[in-house]
Structure 1
Amino acid sequence: MAEQEEQYKLTGMVCASCAQAVEKAIAKLPGVTEVNVNLAVERMKVKVDGNSLSPEQIIKAVEKAGYGAELAQDLTRESNEKEQAEKKESLKVKRNRMVGALALSVILMFVAMTKSFLGANVSQEIIKAFIELVLTIPILWFGRDFLIVGSKALKNLAPNMDSLVLLGSGISFLYSLVNTIIMVVTQNSQPLYYEASGMILALIMLGKYLEAVSKQKTTTAMTSLLTLIPKTAIKLDDQDQPHEVQVDSIKVGDRILVKSGQTIPVDGQILEGSTTVDNSMLTGESLPISKFVGDEVVGGSLNQNGQIVYRATRVGEDTALAQIIKLVADAQGSKAPIARLADKIAGVFVPVIMVIALLGFIGWMLAGSTFAFAVNIFVAVVVIACPCALGLATPTAIMVATGKGAKFGVLFKDGAALESLTKIDTIVFDKTGTITQGTPVVTDVIVKDGFTKETVLQYAASLEFYTEHPLAKAILDANEKESLKVSDFETLPGLGIKGQLADKQIYVGNNRLIEQTKLTRDHKLAQAVAKMRSQGQTLVYVAAEQDVIGVIAISDPIKADSAYVIEQLNHKGVKTVLLTGDNKETAQKIGQEAGITEIISDVLPDGKAAVIKQLQERGDKVAMVGDGINDAPALTQADIGIAIGTGTDVAVESAQVILMDPELSALLTAYELSYKTMFNIKENLFWAFFYNILGVPIALGVLTLFGGPFLNPMIAAGAMGFSSVTVVLNALRLNRFKPKMFSK
């Protein structure tokens, strides 16, 4: 049975320990082959073997673990707006509760720090204790979600951050409550820590509120993509009358009218009119593109200054924009391999911290400290430890980076692609459409005596009409005569094509075809071939029966930025390789123009993967850059495949990175963004680990052994609250990323 994949929306998660608890709970279910919980986007991806497990069973397992779950809706503009509205309302509730808790905590602190504004006797101390108790109870109520979730996690033996907050705030409160009762019974003063209990909770609420506000900013790229899709469109009926319809109702074949300044609703082909289109949302290219009858237009792009009528060719989930949104969403919900260490630590983090806190309490008691001091040590340790920062370090950076990449026309399929690109030391380039412009033109036609250039082009074009080879269009464009009827057409893989034209067997192909079929060519053609090869032109042979009757020279100039990109990669220490099926002379010429030193030519499409494997066997970490069609095996074999998209079809299964801009400088954008992202992730992980490694010993009271200060639990709470905020804010710095633009 085939695997089924479902996305779930999760609620109640607060730290990496929560994500680990949910993953473990779901992984135990029979039939689950893969589960991935992303804390930053609060999503869970589950792959199930066939129909062995229903969504209801998975949801029930999540709820049993102490969290909420529901099937995620399809990602649309409407569902995103609904989710954003829900988050906005949730933020409002968090803000109101946080403000209330902070206000009461400030008053509580003032009361606690005042020696006795009512007097100095025990009776008045008791009154003061009751005032503090009355002020603390509403704070606990405002922060009840932390306490409830924390207690559930403890009950399920999967403690999380909320469990630490529960222990820290709860122990302070209960200790103070017991001492208040002792004061009433014995009429003796006792130490109280109501202010610590209240302020711990208030500061944690402040930190989590600021974290939630910051996390919302990591989803701006996805929201921007979704808002590109208009809600309505103008559809023409059979009588050419316009009607406003919902975009969701448009079907393939419908005729759509788009006026100047309007957004194109779905993909299609222009039937009437001409215009210029802003495609920057798709490719990152800011220059407008002229569009005429027959040209394709892409949904979400802006029709700038002309009115067009076009036929819808892709609608709904098939549009280029829908595919981009899906790829970005999948990437934002993925994990990078670098996160594995953080995940392993998060799985045992909270229990270890609880043990450390308990050992600290016992140690100080055995050392002769007061019970109150030992309790403060315990509370400080459980409160300062922060598993949130560990859990947010990687996914927040990936969310921002993948969204930023999409803005510049670079699509990463997952976090692993971002990480893998930084480890590459060799980049292999396909030639046609990658290093070159991909729009070859016929530059010369040499013919055998007795034939004309027009006849040779006519023969070649008649056969090439049935192929999709990049050189076919150049021949078809150069042919000015009417194509002839072809019978018995056959493709000869890696060689060319053949077919019957009237009473003649015609061959069109490369030098390998001529050699293998043992066709003859005269001295005049041989001399011309040698000259054209030395000029680096691609040669297409045309033969009738057993004789070569002509040679078509085709040139495909390199892209304007190819040499610049290769120079930059070489400067960064990356080896560059040109891998092509073209002849040695053509490959050498193109390679030299681009600045590529290692050139591998005369390789058939099915042999490119073998070349990649050979490079890997010599120890290279290889990336392959190609068009994603005939290069698919090589893209799959490479450590990372990079496909240059066409601007409309982005579902390149064999590639991990897709460059929507056909210019090669998009590769530098991907390369630079991956490096900056991984550096950002490493920064986040370093500070998350460093914070906990430094904070926990201080909370244990190590500094007091050397005459230093004791860490107040309230300061520890503030540090915990703000540690995860700093991780998210650091990830948001990636929003300032700008690629090094190449001036054409």
Structure 2
Amino acid sequence: MKGGNNEEERHVKHEATDHENHKTGPHSGRNHEMHKGHKMEEHDKHGHTKHEHESHGKPKHSHAEHHRMMMEDFKRRFIVSSILTIPILLLSPLIQNFFGFKLTFTGDHYVLFLLSAMVYFYGGWPFLRGMQDELKKKMPGMMTLIALAITVAFSYSVAVTFGLPGKTFYWELATLIDIMLLGHYIEMRSVLGASRALEELIKLMPTEAHLITPEGIKDVPVSELKKGDVVLVKPGEKIPSDGVVIEGETSVNEAMLTGESKPVYKKPGDSVIGGSINLEGAIKVRIEKTGKDTYLMQVVELVRQAQETRSRTQDLANRAAFYLTLIAITAGSITLGTWLYMGMPFVFALERMVTVMVITCPHALGLAVPLVVSVSTSISAKKGILIRNREAFERAKDVQVVVFDKTGTLTEGKFEVTDVIPLEDVEEYEILKYAAALEAHSSHPIAQGIVEKAKELNLESYEVKESKVLPGKGVQGIINGKEVFVVSPNFVKENGLWKDDKRVDKVLEQGKTVVFLIIDGKLAGAIALADKIRPESREAIKKLHEMGIKAYMLTGDNAKVAKWVAEELGLDGFFAEVLPHQKSEKVKELQENGFIVAMVGDGINDAPALIQADVGIAIGAGTDVAIESADIILVKNDPRDVITAIHLARATYGKMVQNLAWATGYNTFAIPLAAGTLYSYGILLSPAVGALLMSLSTVIVAINARFLKA
């Protein structure tokens, strides 16, 4: 072992690196559990209650099954009601006069009443039941409005049928119910869109695996696999569950799972994800996780939770729907009173009131946000961005500062040669060849960094004789008949070989680790190493700056190292030598200065900071994805996905605002038109036409949501 000031220093530094990589901070556990509890409480408050999924001892249904059942119910009621509407239309005097035909018989108005009653009670039942539920919660909304409109029309028509002077609204009633049922069916289909994406994810999992047993290879259902089982995966087959390669090499296609477009090379010791496709060689995989613990099932669960949780904008839409309902009822009453005051027949005034109440129905408003949420959740999942907290995701659009953890986030957590400094008449590549030859058999990160650099430059390896470790100092050996040392700065100073050199001073000031090469008693060169900066980090910081967002870094490393990384990446600031539990305090400092802060870390050691931030973003690949403390999880170790998440949050919010503006703004001209303000110009809207216009607004909102892009 060599290259540090002494053996103990190197060992401690190596342990500290491991600690930083694995993130097992003493304060993370308690915060992790507290946050987990908070998330569950939030889910219970905003998501579906147990009662909605399970009643009378029957098995509970998933969110997707619940929506599918509702969709099928609306479809069935729409078909039956539409069939019944045909004779209602044929028997209606207005329709007969319009098309110029006559169809009358004794008791025809009673037949019309019976058919309309069937449509009202069967087709209108979801709205009548919905009104009851809304009134119980003291939150009258869309269902209340529809139910009031059809009840007023039906009750008045029945009164006319049995003797009250006036005209019936049976055909308007029937067509209104048909259009409403169709609109709700379309809504259910749209909401199921992202749920279908979940089903497609689940379909990625293979059903059978080639289990290796003492008796040979046996095909078994994937559901029977246990941790520790070894399976054979042939070229072209899907990997049955999360595990580790123990034999063989191959390339794996993980595109559907992580969004990584290039095949990923896998060798013994590498992790593989269930559902990814083995492209080339046969491999043996030891199963590490099964069932709900696998990466894919965690993704499915996280996406499902995101779909089922409400957001601040959604609550805003629901409040708007509530007020719009009150406006509709008030406007309907005023319309009725005004026309009666002006001396118009009660039938005319009633028709205007019914039309106002129908056209003001906040159907599109109720759809405005859920449809956008559905589409954005599906898009984000495909891009490897998993949203756990919708409110935090919406806040991401306003982020002003992004704080990155250093090790494993901006950097790769492994040493890379950054500088080779000749101190004698020796070429840089020769210095590397000598050092790599001596370090070839060491497992230390610094040694591996030097060997990796030599391989990267395709340098031919020298043969080493009589190699031995100098504890706490370095390593020694004979190469090409010369005595060669790779040692720490202390060894050089102790042996009187130190030379003042500005280049060496500079890399030491940057906090880099420096080792020296001595050949036959002469100081030949120096090699500086540092934690390797991810190539993607530079692009991520540049794009953040283009978006007007500041980038900061948090690290437990010393200030020199932090300063070097910050300068390399062009960061706006950094916090160095910060302990895990202090990270949240640094985030809080930025918040107290008025910034909306996103924290990006690996989610374990950084848990307190992730929770403190306005938006907590966990970055990590593979089965480490299920991190409870984060609001948003990035599947890949790519800081650029932070930008993608912010862009998607902004685009999602933009679509929500567009939909809300259309759904509410549409009523500013629809209500006066329905009330009959243009009556003097011969323009009148019937309740059925009002329902058609309302449904059109719903379709526009649905189409607009589908145009969402990240």
Say which of 355, 359, 375 aligns to 1:400: 375
Choose which of 710, 715, 720 in structure 1 pairs with 2:689. Answer: 715
Cα distance in 2 between the residues matched to 1:70 and 1:415? 31
Cα distance, 1:274–1:90 mapped onto 2, change above 3 Å: farther
Q: Does 1:369 align with 2:347?
A: no
Matched, 1:429 2:404: yes
Q: Indicate which of 639, 649, 652 corresponds to 2:627.
A: 652
Distance 1:522 1:655, change over 3 A: farther
The answer as to 2:138 corresponding to 1:164 is no
* 1:361-402 Cα shifts (integer Å, max 9, x gaps): 233222322100121122112212223333332232122212
Query: The residue matched to 1:689 in structure 2 has which SS?
Result: helix
In the other structure, the counterpart of 1:632 is 607
Deviations 1:321-349 (A, max 9, x none): 11111111111111222233223344455
Question: Residues of 2 paired with 1:522 and 1:636: CA distance?
Answer: 52
Partner of 1:241: 217
What residue number does 1:44 align with? 48
Give the conservation status (yes or no) of the 8 Å contact 1:279–1:302: yes
1:112 to 84, 91, 95: 95
Contact kept? 2:71, 2:189, Cα under 8 Å: no
Answer with 408-417 or 573-582: which moved more. Answer: 573-582
Q: CA-to-partner distance for each residue in 1:645-698, whole Å, 9 max, x for gaps?
A: 122211223321221122222222111111111101111211222233433333
1:143 aligns with 2:117: no
Distance 2:48 2:513 in 1: 54
Out of 277, 282, 307, which is 2:257 matched to? Answer: 282
Correspondence 1:219 to 2:234: no
Higher mean displacement: 574-583 or 597-606: 597-606
SS at match of 1:218: helix
Gaps of 5+ in 1: 9-31, 38-42, 46-54, 184-188, 447-451, 465-469, 487-497, 499-509, 543-549, 739-744
Q: TM-score scaled by structure 1? A: 0.73
Aligned to 1:619: 594
Match of 1:727 among 685, 701, 706: 701
Q: Sequence identity of aligned pairs in percent?
A: 32
Q: Following the alignment from structure 2 to structure 1, what is the Cα–Cα distance between the partners of residues 68 and 703?
A: 23
SS at match of 1:648: helix
Residue of structure 1 in register with 2:19 after alignment = none
Report the Cα offset of residue 135 of structure 1. 4.9
Equivalent residue runs for 1:324-363 within 5 Å: 324-347=299-322, 349-351=324-326, 353-363=328-338
Could you tell me how far 1:702 is from its partner in structure 2? 3.4
Please state if 1:317 is matched with 2:292. Answer: yes
SS of 2:162's equivalent? helix
- 1:643 aligned counterpart, secondary structure: strand
Query: Residues 4-53 of structure 1: CA distance to partner in whole angstroms, max 9, x if unpaired?
Result: 99999xxxxxxxxxxxxxxxxxxxxxxx997445xxxxx614xxxxxxxx
Q: Which residue of 2 aligns with 1:18?
A: none
CA distance in 2, matches of 1:211, 1:611: 45
Structure 2 counterpart SS, 1:192: coil
1:258 to 213, 220, 233: 233
**Paired residues for 1:49-64 under 5 Å:** 58=51
Letter in 2 for 1:727: V
Residue 162 (structure 2) aligned to one of 174, 181, 188:
181
Q: 1:551 to 1:115 in 2, by over 3 A?
A: closer
Contact 1:270-1:296 at 8 Å conserved across structures: yes
3-state SS of paired residue (1:182): coil
Structure 1, 388-397 or 98-107: larger mean CA deviation? 98-107
Matches within 5 A, 1:699-714: 699-704=674-679, 707=681, 709-714=683-688
Report if aligned partners of 1:357, 1:379 keep a CA contact under 8 Å in 2: yes
CA RMSD of aligned residues (A): 4.5
Partner SS for 2:621: coil
2:169 paired with 1:193: yes
Query: Are residues 444 and 699 of structure 1, via their aligned partners in 2, closer, same or farther at CA, if it must alter by over 3 Å?
Result: closer
Kindly provide the amino acid, as one letter, of the partner of residue 732 in structure 1.
R
Is the alpha carbon distance of 1:520 and 1:69 closer, same or farther for their aligned partners in structure 2, counting shifts above 3 Å?
farther
Helix, strand or coil at the partner of 2:368:
helix
- Give the C-alpha shift of residue 621 in structure 1: 1.3
Equivalents in 2 of 1:4, 1:295: separation in Å?
Answer: 30
Aligned residue for 1:577, secondary structure, equals strand
Q: Bigger shift: 520-529 or 387-396?
A: 520-529
Q: In structure 1, the residue corresponding to 2:533 is in which secondary structure?
A: coil
- After superposing the two structures, state which structure 1 stretch, 252-261 or 717-726, moved more: 717-726
2:650 equivalent to 1:669: no
Match of 2:206 in 1: 230
How much does 1:456 deviate?
11
Q: Secondary structure at the match of 2:211?
A: strand
Of 499, 523, 530, 1:555 maps to: 530
Secondary structure at the residue paired with 1:649? helix
Distance 1:588 1:557 in 2: 14
Q: Post-superposition shift, 1:600?
A: 4.2
Alignment of 1:203-602 (within 5 A): 203-245=179-221, 247-347=222-322, 349-351=324-326, 353-441=328-416, 474=449, 524=498, 530-531=504-505, 533=507, 536=510, 538-539=512-513, 553-602=528-577
Could you tell me how far apart the structure 1 residues matched to 2:278 and 2:602 are?
Answer: 27
Q: Which moved more, 1:530-539 or 1:359-368?
A: 530-539
CA distance in 1 between partners of 2:528 and 2:280 (Å): 40
Higher RCO, Cα 8 Å, sep 6+: 2
Q: Match of 1:335, SS?
A: coil
- Measured against aligned partners, the alpha-carbon deviations of 1:431-473 in whole angstroms (never above 9, x if no partner) come to 3332334432356899xxxxx98999899x79x7xxxxx8797
State how far apart, in whole Å, the 2-side matches of 1:275 and 1:325 are: 27
Distance 2:105 2:169 in 1: 14
Number of aligned residue pairs: give it.
635
Is 653-662 or 312-321 further displaced after alignment? 653-662
- Deviations along 1:208-229, whole A, 9 cap, x unmatched? 2222233322323222222212
CA contact (8 A) 1:532 1:553 kept: no
Give the corresponding residue for 1:681. Answer: 656
Q: Which residue of 2 aligns with 1:467?
A: none
Query: Deviation per CA, 1:403-457, whole angstroms, max 9, x where unpaired?
Result: 21111111111211221111101112233332334432356899xxxxx989998
In the superposition, relative to structure 1, how do residues 583 and 647 fare at CA in structure 2: closer, same or farther (>3 Å)? same
The one-letter code matched in structure 2 to 1:364 is W
Which residue of structure 2 lines up, in the alignment, with residue 49 of structure 1?
none
User: When you count helix as a share of all residues, which structure comes out higher?
Assistant: 2
